[in-house]
Amino acid sequence: MTELTELTAVQLVDGYRKGEFSPVDAVRATLERAERIQPAVNAFVLPHALDSARAERFPPAAHEALARAAESADRWRRGEPAGLLDGVPVTVKDIILQRGRPTLRGSKAVDPQGAWGEDAPSVARLREHGAVFIGRTTTPEFGWKGVTDSPLTGVTRNPYDTSRTAGGSSGGSAAAVALGAGPLSLGTDGGGSVRIPAGFCGIFALKPTYGRVPLYPASAFGTLAHVGPMTRDAADAALAMDVISGPDARDWSGLGPVGGSFTQALAGGVRGLRVAYSPSLGGQVAVRPEVASAVRRAVQGLAGLGAYVSEADPDLTDPVDAFHVLWFSGAARVTQHFGPQQREVLDPGLREICGIGARFSALDYLAAVDVRMDLGRRMGRFHESYDVLVTPTLPITAFEAGAEVPAGSGLRRWTGWTPFTYPFNMTQQPAATVPVGVDGDGLPVGMQVVAARHRDDLVLRVAHALYEAGVAGIGAPTEV
């Protein structure tokens, strides 16, 4: 029988319904897997590990997870599941509030002795639907960069090669999902932070339309910041979106009720869809040949499924300078009230960009907003002609762990190697990464699918068609 840790959330729920196994079995197996992978990849902040040989020494969090699993098993026996994810093991990035667990945000400057009495909206919805929380996943400090290492938790590593980075800022979530420590994780994405690590770690991730998944407390990075699911495939992400979408009174910028089910919208395939394939954003990005080849093969797969594929570039120039104004200002706002002792323990790179951000004026910020609005206008017009835009998720595969940029690249900041991701935080569009192959070193390659604002269903539908056709998905990493 397939190991429980290899099953998707959809498969777990189906197994619970049929009585083939119980949530206790799945949660126990997931806790054991989390404990086993932690020394190699460092995916968890406070691993809720389970030592089956020493039951009396189970950590309290593992006791709690197993207790919730037992409650779920009882509900399934009665035929009364609490919701769509009842008994499914999930993890939550250490940026998102979770009741009863410290949210340290990867920082030694955060006091773990806080009250921690409130769930973020997405976590609250998961709890209402019976999901079982098994761990908090690692992040760079305050999610500031595209790799995952911090003064608090150290370096998070890639499941396919532990000498390489898992990407970031939701790197712990990506590594956990890739290695079977829960089929679903909640991540955040302000410039690529679910898509970058998912691309590097060979899993699926969706950055929904801004506001589709409510966020509280509001991010210091403003409306760049999205919450999204990180999963093994698009069907699991759609199921998660059916749970975590919808309004929450605490998020004044959130969208209204969802018009239908994301899961039901997966059907229909891609026949007749107008797909724009932009291999390099009009020659602006130098893409590694093995990455370009893998993405091109996947695009050919879309054409084979009946999509109308054209090579076409959106009308945009790299908005990195405007993005930096918004991003660095947000970082400065995060740390604005820190005293000297707190600043001393910050990641040096974060401390540097905070200093830059603090020197921008209100006029600098508003000029960056103007760039953003114009970019959004241009992408809105682009999607009058094309249903989806397809690009590489990243121009490279995973590089050495513990570095912000690849050695010898001459780059200064993480935005230098993520030119396909942050523009779509500027525009608030839904964007997903789909694993479509590996390079010569066996490292995953991702393809990005982007749609117009509010068309999350279309992104998921295209990705699901690729999984159904065997175009998406790569082999699981060798056990670490």
Residues composing the chain: 480
Contact 116, 94 (CB under 8 A): no
**Which residues, including other chains, have CB under 8 Å from residue 153's CB and lie 6 or more apart?**
42, 45, 106, 138
Q: Residue 90 is which amino acid?
A: V
Instruction: Tell me how far apart the alpha carbons of residues 277 and 420 are, in angstroms, rounded to a whole number.
Output: 13
For residue 445, what are the β-bridge partners? 437
Closest CA to 317 of 374, 248, 392: 374
Q: Is 193 a catalytic residue?
A: yes
Residue tagged active-site, from 22, 72, 93, 173: 93
Of 193, 245, 278, 329, catalytic: 193
Whether 169 is catalytic is yes
Q: Which amino acid is at 49?
A: A
Closest to 219 measured CA to CA, from 442, 455, 476, 425: 425
Which one from 107, 169, 245, 278 is the annotated catalytic residue?
A: 169
Terminal CA-CA length for the chain: 21
Q: Among 77, 82, 52, 78, which Cα is nearest to 66's?
A: 52
Q: Which residues contact 251 (CB under 8 A, 6 or more apart)?
A: 121, 211, 214, 215, 216, 218
Active site amino acids: 93, 169, 193
